[in-house]
Structure 1
């Protein structure tokens, strides 16, 4: 210390003063920066700590839907099955666990697994798909090929391509029992392909060569379906988009030749545009994969990585709940259990809808369909994602138009191969839109 301080009397004292001055400046700057940060926190986040401030900021972010907020005077559009009901679940703690960051260098290659039959399928997504089906028990995944598509619509088109006969021949007939999903005819005939064509109601079909589309639970009426046609050279494609425990009892693990699923109706992430197929026959799976390769050169890896993280968050949530139960914690917290959250929502909404129908007196709905659910391990009723609403009022032959005059947009029965006195109503929109809808419905008489 003496050696360091004895370099020069006055000069040493001046150096120490200068150093002290610099330290004072630094301290002053640090204090001012801290004060500025404190002010900004107070100004924009009300003095909350960092985590609470971030949470508050996130809560103020606009909803993920591009639709405007609804008011009592708004037109309520329930034509589409836009699954905004799920947003509340993912804005909670589950959303943190499903968040993914993709570095700029990741997912650059076309290829995910060059040695796989479906070379553009991310291994992590395949793993989580199989894991989720084992959890829910709604489909057999072991022994099946997993394919990924841009929504189940692309996989539906891929299945038609794969099942069409080779060589010059008449187009394959595509049928489905009425009321059938309204997009089946449009998607089948959109490209005017010489390989296949829409042939209408399966119950009215008389032929030997066909693809039967079996949507179960049914869109639009929620009924459980089996293949209608049993003879000839036909094959069935099972659309199981709604075979999840929030909508219907899981009575057994489906094990059909071709089964289609979609992220949108399972988790609510319609904008991710992702579906998957479980395909038993390798040759059919190869042809379906080839169609997707030629159609879009695979499927977005970014969407696949996000979907894999979402599916993992769902399964992990149930694993945590099972671990807590095993440890003696009986808390029925469903913050991490998607199917429990969605099931409670559907039960509540269907109760309100049935009350509104009863109050009106001019509408009817299909009867409830109870069954033993292996996932819930109890007998439960079906609460479909769509309501098949019929009107018995004299003079109302166009229910879609009747509701439109009252600012409710629905999808008319004619688009499903049914009559005009029935419409399909989405049960999956926001709480605000659904509340206005049931209030208006109850006032009609």
Structure 2
């Protein structure tokens, strides 16, 4: 190619494994942003490790930084002025960065790190507790997702393509909050999560085997009102002693034991973000299990 030629690449922010005419449900939130977040960029864009050599996080794309600050300003849940943004590949990388930045450099021994349950699966590998001052890692209300990932600490920077995709998604989300002619993502997701929680509570209330974790209403800075908490990940407690994960697995219900997150085997963690089809199967099997043992 000559010096003026370019290679244009068009990418979808949400790759879809199913054919375009396939109407099966996928993750509801991914369904909302599908076909709204296509991006086009030159083939020679962002080839360098450096995105902004003058920034504290020199591999952070300026478009992503702009959209992160914009969304926080729209929602009103964080102060963005005079603050730095650091990106990483996975939470473990960012957690270790934060611990390094907060740890005192003039002490002979490493500072202790504590976290209330539930905590991320990788936390015990990167933390140590001793008497004295400590750093607390707060995971609530953004509960750990329980997904096991391979270590990525040795990687330099974060994928530029991933940052540009994320920037486009955040731009579309912010636009949906500011333009009343568009479907608001937060209203859409709140409607979906409210429906799922109502159906899950009904299944749990119809039996006396389990207890569903309750979350009190909280004031929302975005809606300026008290809102019910419908978390994307929650836990179910088995009333009687025993391994809840094992019992449910015997009835083809896959969960993750609370032991993985600092709790006990009576607890299991479930995701509320699965597709409607998967969630309906989960409810059906849970209801069938409760009918057998009621």
Bigger relative contact order (CA 8 A; separation at least 6):
1
- 1:365 aligned to 2:212? yes
Number of matched residues?
A: 269
Cα distance, 1:312 vs structure 2: 0.4
Q: What is the aligned counterpart of 1:115 among 54, 71, 92?
A: 54
Contact preservation (8 Å) 1:182, 1:415 = yes
Contact preservation (8 Å) 2:63, 2:164 = yes
CA distance in 1, matches of 2:142, 2:48: 38
DSSP 3-state at the match of 1:145:
coil
TM-score (norm. length: structure 2): 0.83
Contact preservation (8 Å) 2:173, 2:185 = yes
Q: What is the aligned counterpart of 1:144 among 52, 69, 83?
A: 83
DSSP 3-state at the match of 1:304:
helix
- Please say which structure displays the higher CA radius of gyration: 1
Stretches of structure 2 lacking an aligned partner (at least 5 in a row): 1-17
Per-residue CA deviation, residues 277-320 of structure 1 (Å, 9 max, x unaligned), is xxxxxxxxxxxxxxx9x842211111111111110011112221
Query: Which residue number corresponds to residue 377 of structure 1?
Result: 224
Query: Which residue number corresponds to residue 347 of structure 1?
Result: 194
Contact preservation (8 Å) 2:25, 2:276 = no
CA distance in 2, matches of 1:298, 1:400: 38
Larger helix fraction of residues: 1
Pairwise CA RMSD: 2.7
Stretches of structure 1 lacking an aligned partner (at least 5 in a row): 1-55, 65-83, 189-196, 200-205, 221-240, 242-269, 274-291, 325-332
Distance 1:349 1:138, change over 3 A: same
CA distance in 2, matches of 1:172, 1:185: 14
Q: What is the aligned counterpart of 2:244 among 383, 399, 404?
A: 399
Distance 1:198 1:409, change over 3 A: farther
Contact preservation (8 Å) 2:33, 2:169 = no
Query: Which residue number corresponds to residue 60 of structure 1?
Result: 22
Per-residue CA deviation, residues 329-378 of structure 1 (Å, 9 max, x unaligned), is xxxx63xx211111111101100100010112211112231123231232
Contact preservation (8 Å) 1:107, 1:301 = yes
The residue correspondences of 1:245-284 to structure 2 (distance < 5 A) are none
Contact preservation (8 Å) 2:25, 2:277 = no
Query: Which residue number corresponds to residue 212 of structure 1?
Result: 136
